[in-house]
Amino acid sequence: MLAGLALVGAAACSSGGDQPVAAGVTTTEAPTTSAGESTTTTAAPTPTWPLTGIETADAAAGRPAVAVKLDNHPDARPHTGINDADLVYELKVEGITRLAAIFHSTDANPVGPIRSARSSDINLLANLARPLLLWSGGNPGVTDMVTRAASVNGLVDVSHSVGNAHYFRGSDRAAPHNLYANMSDIRAEFTPGDATPPVALFTYRKAGEASSGDATPGVTIDFGNNVLVDYVWDPARSCFARYQVDYNHPRGSSAFVDSTGTQACPANVVVMNIEYGISSADANSPEAVTVGQGDGLVLSDGKAVPIRWKRDLPISVPTITDAAGNPVGLTPGKTWVALPEAADAPIHPMDAGTAQSLLAGG
């Protein structure tokens, strides 16, 4: 089964034969009837939040996702609301990285600092079933691309200029690193009547299912231009603690914390080595190529698994497989997806001593 399929249809049964059962669905047989026949009842699959794989009975699971473009300049840290995101993408922009935080199971009020979109975002977000996009604005080329994507139901444009009443400038830092928004208010005003939830982008392990891979203390991801991101397995929290080195946060003081002081520590880190081209909207901006295939690494349950990823179309979910071609299951929970440039050979194993040092004082 391909990674990321949210629903599995039950196969048709042949006359007089056994009835195939959809994956993940349990069945129970009713008592034999007086005529010697039996009936079979099928239990409905347990609903889950699609972007975390966590079981839920919350009616909000049917709402759309909200994608927020977050500043990741050294002067933009710490962020507000980032740890409420189900999924966070990190990709290269001009000399630094920028984040696309995807919220579905939980909203953040407020969230920020919010910055501009990039041409990379159009394909990156296309498999999220028309998410609401919060962004500060952009150059005419990017603005036109977002407008065109909105016109074909690729996303819902809720830029600063569109949803101005729900954005505000904070007094905690200088512009442009101080734009925030109230997500719940934006949902209430801008969610379309025909909105649908996103599909699952990854496969998640079921309870009791063993994880694959080899134990790892962590890795360093080199995004170039001296942007180094460390993920360290924290057994006390059962997640990968995030650290980011920049000119405001040297290694040793690089813990990536939000405005409450809580460190980002996702259950999973998916590293997808990709290519970058030149943006069609701005010759000075790199454009992430997220449709295609490549290699990478999955960090989950304290282990590392080398992977191959493949995404055929912008609306496709990625397939994530190991060296034998088997789907790689993630731990139910939050996921960060790193999109470094493949040509830079960006993934570097971390030794146990460095990992322990970071956990002790990072």
pLDDT at 235: 97
Are the CB atoms for 244 and 264 separated by under 8 Å? no
Give the residue extent of every domain in the chain. 59-190, 214-361
pLDDT at 43: 63
Whole-angstrom Cα distance, residue 230 to residue 214?
18
**Structure tokens that stand for 318 in this block:** 């990625």
Whole-angstrom Cα distance, residue 301 to residue 335?
12
| Distance of alpha carbon 197 from the chain centroid | 14
What is the CB neighbour count within 10 angstroms for residue 108?
23
Whole-angstrom Cα distance, residue 90 to residue 57?
30
Q: What is the 3-state secondary structure (H, E, C) of 62-91?
A: HCCCEEEEECCCHHHCCEECHHHCCEEEEE
**Structure tokens that stand for 120 in this block:** 């990379």
The correct answer on CATH 3.50.90.10 for the domain covering 59-190 is yes
Angle at Cα 226 formed by Cα 356 and Cα 138, nearest 5°?
120
Whole-angstrom Cα distance, residue 117 to residue 135?
6
Q: Which residues contact 127 (CB under 8 A, 6 or more apart)?
A: 198, 199, 201, 314, 315, 316, 317
CA 101 to each of CA 91, 98, 111, 234: distance values in angstroms, whole numbers, following the listed order: 11, 10, 10, 22
CA-closest candidate to residue 100, choices 60, 148, 127, 66: 66
Q: What is the CATH number of domain 214-361?
A: 3.50.90.10
Tell me the pLDDT of the chain (362 aa) as tens digits: 333 323 223 333 333 333 332 333 333 333 444 455 555 556 667 889 999 999 999 999 999 999 999 999 999 999 999 999 999 999 999 999 999 999 999 999 999 999 999 999 999 999 999 999 999 998 999 999 999 999 999 999 999 999 999 999 999 899 999 999 999 999 999 999 999 999 999 999 998 899 999 999 999 999 999 899 999 999 999 999 999 998 889 888 999 999 999 999 999 999 999 999 999 899 999 999 999 999 999 999 999 999 999 999 999 999 999 999 999 999 999 999 999 999 999 999 999 999 999 999 85
Strand partners, 79: 258
Are the CB atoms for 6 and 50 separated by under 8 Å? yes
CA-closest candidate to residue 347, choices 228, 240, 234: 228
Please provide the DSSP assignment of 265-325 as one string: --SEEEEE-BEEEE-SS-TTSEEEE-SEEEEEEEEETTEEEEEEEEE-STTSPPEEE-TTS
pLDDT at 157: 98
pLDDT at 328: 98
Give the amino acid at 6: A
Phi, psi at residue 218, to the nearest 5°? 150, 180
Q: Which residues contact 211 (CB under 8 A, 6 or more apart)?
A: 205, 300, 301, 303, 329, 331
**Same topology between domain 59-190 and domain 214-361:** yes
